[in-house]
Structure 1
């Protein structure tokens, strides 16, 4: 079971619909055009279009499985007393004194550009269930980070 926000769920549904209604017909059209060009055994365009179709169908099946197992979290039932899925966490790196803010998201919603880290990441795992003021040690590839939780929001 995969828990996610309503926004993440809607985004996955939109991506799936786009793949099924726009990308798949384009690939099928490319296959038909390539097939019309003659001998399929040496037709590069045909083989490339077939590979693209296989890749696209694989992505569609993956997104369908994710959506089948997805559960949208009711944010009105979440609190801000401890870090959990969908929490926005303000923290200070005690080594560098740098400030950062991350939103704990499902793996399918994780996007560093948007400030969302996967709940399965080492930082999120270390922060889970901690409260404001707690100092958390996180083992990352660069060593051990000490983070102090400054604020938790939804």
Structure 2
């Protein structure tokens, strides 16, 4: 068969990024800020980066031999990466359920979006913010609401001791403080999740 009628790779276009494993109840909770960041990334890819790469690939293809044309080969690879990320972001935004944690401002019970300070048995205090799977950044002290620590802390109150299963047994954590963002005028007005 002629090389003109074969794909560059039979697997390259078909390798979908598998969606994250389903979470309890099939929910994909996310804050408005997290949703807006994912949406901004999606639009940046669709409106800016993808057209720019398409232009480079078109230019490189017009130069003739594509088999050894680095701009063409890299551009096609980059287009597949961009398209894969666009599909992933589109799917994650479609199933996102935007939650406003500021509705719990002033409360002492742990819910999604809370910044929780807890102490372990040695008295070492740790502060974490419980956020969505797609927005949590452990380097900033943020954990996903489906993580073991978050699952142990959810629905507890200040002063309560929760049990966390760890590889070495069970660890007890005392909830020391719970904080939520201050409500803003924009947060008080109901907003439907945009797609």
Query: Fold-level match, TM-score > 0.5?
Result: yes
**Is the CA contact 2:115–2:127 (under 8 Å) kept in the aligned structure 1?**
yes
User: TM-score scaled to structure 1, two decimals?
Assistant: 0.87
Q: Per residue, is there more strand in 1 or in 2?
A: 1
Query: Which of 143, 148, 161 is the equivalent residue of 1:135?
Result: 161
State the aligned residue count.
153
Task: Name 2:48's counterpart in structure 1.
Answer: 22
Say which SS state the counterpart of residue 129 (structure 1) adopts: coil
Residue 103 of structure 1: CA displacement?
A: 0.7
| Deviation for aligned residue 1:142 | 6.8
TM-score by length of 2: 0.70
Show structure 1 runs of 5+ residues with no match: none
Larger radius of gyration: 2
Q: Deviations over 1:15-56 (max 9, x none)?
A: 111111221122112212321231123333322211110111
Aligned to 2:115: 88
Residues 111, 155 of structure 2: 8 Å contact kept: yes
Instruction: Identify which range, 115-124 or 66-75, moves more after superposition.
Output: 66-75
| Closer/same/farther in 2, CA of residues 37 and 78 from structure 1, 3 Å limit | same
Partner of 1:42: 68
Q: 1:33–1:140: structure 2 CA closer, same or farther, 3 Å change rule?
A: farther
